[in-house]
Structure 1
Amino acid sequence: MTKGEETRQMIIERSAPIFNMKGIAATAMSDIMEATKLSKGSLYVHFDNKDTLAATVVDYNLQLLSKRVAAELGRYDNAKDKLFAFIDMYKDPLNPPVTGGCPMMNFGVEADDMNEAVRVKVAKNVDKSQQLLIDIIRQGITRGVFNPDWNYKEFATLMFALIEGGVMITRNTKKSDKMAIISRNLKKMIGEQTL
């Protein structure tokens, strides 16, 4: 990497948790200046404006989450274990896998009415996450782990929605009891489809 590329990457990495915690609208360039120790002029050398930086940071946060999920699931070969690992990644939303919380939740809620480009990025990641769950279950059915009659596409949607809802409830109430209920019941539902 050139010095300029290193600086650009540093700006992204230090800005990522700020945007994820405060949101795009509430994050000021002064927040980024403080985190990076760069002047506004230096920031604008690497990013035309706050919106360009925000779009790059949204991508970075979403990719970071995807990489952490892939790394965790990659530790397991069995489809049931992979599904349980996915659930467990989100079991403590007060200590999330990405600083500031789930970027799909955070950016998605903010962008649904205000920022079409970010909404599309989040929507693609929602679809990608659900497809990951579908693929895991399909593989489990093929390998004889799960009931072949399982309506797994519907379950993948339900599982994803319950987890994201649990993240929202926990982050807002600062209590993990509802997420524990969601995790326990999802695992029970998976167990009922296990051969």
Structure 2
Amino acid sequence: MSKAERTRQFIIEQTAPIFNKLGYAGTSMSDLTAATGLTKGAIYGNFENKEEVALAAFDYNLGLVQEGLRAGLHGGATVREQLLAMPRFYREAYPHFCQQGGCPILNAAIETDDAPPTALRQRVQASLARWHRHVARLIEQGQQTGEIRPAAEAGRYATLFIALTEGGIMVAKATGDPAALYTSLAHIEQLIETELASS
């Protein structure tokens, strides 16, 4: 990694939690210089503008979440275990999410929901679509192996799992009480065990 690449990575790692906590529009250039200890010129020497830093920070924050999810998924020997890895990951990772400002997908989605289409909003939509496809494919894979009931609508359950997870995080963050998230995650586990799993 070159010196320029190391500097760019340093800026991303230092500013990612700031963007996630303060919002992409709410984060100022002075917030970025304070977080990195670099001048505005040094930051703009590595990024074209603040939006480019924000997009890189979102990608970095999202990557951290995906890395944790992947580790759990790869640890599952069966489709059922892989599906159960998602609620388990969010239950275990929630305290860390709170320290980092919350779920990057949820934060960026709420910030951009009424805004005109932006690169950040497109990133959010793409990440949700990938998550949905992944869960739906996993369910379909389980149907092929006989682990999941053939009549289960993969897309419907993928939507439910994502909505329960992100909705649970939103209520937990808003109330300062993780109970809503834990209840939502327990419901996902119940759906997997009672409605999806073949008996």
Which is worse superposed, 92-101 or 82-91? Answer: 92-101
1:151 to 141, 150, 153: 153
Deviates more, 1:157-166 or 1:175-184: 175-184
Letter in 2 for 1:178: A
C-alpha distance after superposition, 1:58-78 (max 9, x if no partner) = 222222222221122111121
Relative to structure 1, is the Cα distance of residues 99 and 184 closer, same or farther in structure 2, using a 3 angstrom cutoff? same
CA contact (8 A) 2:73 2:82 kept: yes
1:23-67 deviation digits (Å, cap 9, x = unpaired): 111111111111211111111111122122112212222222222
Paired residues in the alignment total 195
Q: Hey, what does 2:85 align to over in structure 1?
A: 85
1:106 matched residue in structure 2: 107
* Residue in 2 that maps onto 1:127: 129
Normalising by structure 2, what TM-score?
0.91
Q: Which moved more, 1:173-182 or 1:95-104?
A: 95-104
Residue identity over aligned pairs, in percent, reads: 34
Amino acid at match of 1:71: A
TM-score (norm 1): 0.93
CA shift digits 1:99-130 (9 cap, x unpaired) = 32211100111112335211111000001111
Give the alignment's Cα RMSD to 1 decimal: 1.7
For 1:131 and 1:16, the matched residues in 2 are separated by 26
Cα distance in 2, alignment partners of residues 14 and 160 from structure 1: 28
Q: Does 1:194 align with 2:168?
A: no
Q: How far did residue 97 of structure 1 move?
A: 8.9
Q: Are the counterparts in 1 of residues 169 and 180 from structure 2 also a CA contact under 8 Å?
A: no
SS in 1 for 2:41: helix
Aligned to 1:20: 20
- CA distance, structure 2, for counterparts of residue 111 and residue 176 of structure 1: 24
The farther-off stretch of 13-22 and 85-94 is: 85-94
Q: Distance in 2 between matches of 1:190 and 1:129?
A: 17
- Higher fraction of helix: 2
Q: 1:157-176 maps to which residues of 2 (within 5 A)?
A: 157-176=159-178
Where does the alignment leave 5 or more consecutive residues of structure 1 unmatched? none
* Ranges in structure 2 where 5+ consecutive residues have no aligned partner: none
Describe the shift of the 1:66–1:186 C-alpha distance in structure 2 as closer, same or farther (beyond 3 A): same
